[in-house]
């Protein structure tokens, strides 16, 4: 009888302890530190990262707090951001994948010349593409979303009115694919993260930059240069790829219900939201250039086709390079274009 009572008491104590632990787990609050490179007023921090953080806090009933650290406040340079998430220096980072050349070879396909247009459509496409064809490139983190910006273009001191006028210009590029493209087009590429563009233009170390309209306001590019060159058709000269990543251990430590909150705010709809912010930011940036009376050069279809033919060799180079790593670049380029077309309908 005593043994039965003892077992019953132990069982009750165990059940109470489990209930107490579950209660603590259910009540657990966590603070996640999010680090990124741009000033807080830029489109993505202001209109994507902050709303994402607010939604996560709301969906978690206030149990997940997100602290945002802008403009590399926690140290390091932009190329280190992906590893800061991977290594647990911080919990979350948003960064440009092209800042770590060759590390994401399959995902690079979206950077190829004239691959994409609308940021929302391309962001849906790249998220689906990564999930299907390149999940191993992000296995070291909990991937929240990947996305692209809108059509890339030139912002220059002197107008770019055709291929010949670009030759010899020192132009900032944001990735190895873009720098190769600039070389093929006759420019002198200068690799630098986007936060360094304003200083580069001010000091004259670059004659122009490749960025989408969306970045123009935060960097005051419309004040630093007076010429902007766009291309005929829906596709931009190039795009860049971005990753919003979470430290794997930070995610794994969360109780199941808080993991579900992160999962709910990850994936294709989150990618699309970031893309929409980019598209809206493009309208704002272009509007500032127009209001400033800047010269917006719109290359016609025939001239754009010349650029397409010249830039096409960049894709051939990429296919050859990734082929040496056992990757079928031609097939992946076809898959990327199919997904962009699917999400552009």
Tell me where in the chain the CATH 3.40.190.170 domain(s) lie.
Answer: 31-149+239-281, 153-238+292-318
The residue among 130, 80, 128 whose CA lies nearest residue 100 is 80
- Locate 340 and state its tokens: 């962009």
> Hey, what are 251's tokens?
């995610």
Quick one: DSSP state of residue 46?
A: I
Residue 332's closest CA among 322, 341, 317?
Answer: 322
Residue 17 has pLDDT above 80, yes or no: no
Topology adopted by domain 153-238+292-318: D-Maltodextrin-Binding Protein; domain 2 (3.40.190)
For strand 188-191 and strand 170-173, is the pairing parallel, antiparallel, or unpaired? Answer: parallel
* Strand, helix or coil for residue 64: strand
End-to-end alpha-carbon separation of the chain, Å? 74
Give pLDDT, residue 28: 85
pLDDT surpasses 60 at 148: yes
What's the pTM value of the predicted model, to 2 decimals?
0.91
The arithmetic mean of pLDDT across residues 25-42, rounded, is 89
pLDDT at 5 over 50: no
CATH of 31-149+239-281, one of 3.40.50.2300, 1.10.645.10, 3.40.109.10, 3.40.190.170: 3.40.190.170
Residue 25 has pLDDT above 60, yes or no: no
Confirm if 321 and 99 have CB atoms less than 8 A apart: no
Spatial distance between the Cα atoms of 238 and 12, rounded to a whole number of angstroms: 65
């Amino acid at each position: 009888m005593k043994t039965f009572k003892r077992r019953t008491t132990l069982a009750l104590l165990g059940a109470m302890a489990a209930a107490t632990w579950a209660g603590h787990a259910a009540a657990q609050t966590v603070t996640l530190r999010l680090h990124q490179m741009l000033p807080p007023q830029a489109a993505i921090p202001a209109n994507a990262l902050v709303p994402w953080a607010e939604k996560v806090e709301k969906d978690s009933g206030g149990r997940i707090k997100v602290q945002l650290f802008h403009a590399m406040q926690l140290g390091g340079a932009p190329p280190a951001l992906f590893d800061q998430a991977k290594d647990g220096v911080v919990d979350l980072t948003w960064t440009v994948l092209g800042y770590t050349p060759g590390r994401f070879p399959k995902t690079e396909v979206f950077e190829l010349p004239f691959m994409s247009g609308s940021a929302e459509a391309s962001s849906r496409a790249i998220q689906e593409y990564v999930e299907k064809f390149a999940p191993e490139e992000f296995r070291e983190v909990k991937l929240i979303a990947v996305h692209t910006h809108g059509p890339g273009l030139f912002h220059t001191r002197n107008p770019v009115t055709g291929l010949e006028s670009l030759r010899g210009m020192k132009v900032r590029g944001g990735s190895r694919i873009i720098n190769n493209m600039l070389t093929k087009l006759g420019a002198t590429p200068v690799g630098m993260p986007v936060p360094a563009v304003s200083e580069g233009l001010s000091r004259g170390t670059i004659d122009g930059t490749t960025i989408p309209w969306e970045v123009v306001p935060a960097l005051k590019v419309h004040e630093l240069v007076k010429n902007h060159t766009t291309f005929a058709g829906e596709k931009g000269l190039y795009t860049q790829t971005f990753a919003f990543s979470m430290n794997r251990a930070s995610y794994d430590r969360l109780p199941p219900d808080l993991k579900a909150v992160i999962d709910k705010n990850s994936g294709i709809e989150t990618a699309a939201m970031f893309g929409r912010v980019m598209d809206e930011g493009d309208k704002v940036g272009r509007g500032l250039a127009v209001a400033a009376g800047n010269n917006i050069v719109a290359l016609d279809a025939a001239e754009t086709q010349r650029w397409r033919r010249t830039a096409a060799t960049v894709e051939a180079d990429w296919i050859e390079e990734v082929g040496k790593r056992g990757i079928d670049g031609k097939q992946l380029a076809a898959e990327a274009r199919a997904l962009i077309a699917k999400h552009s309908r």
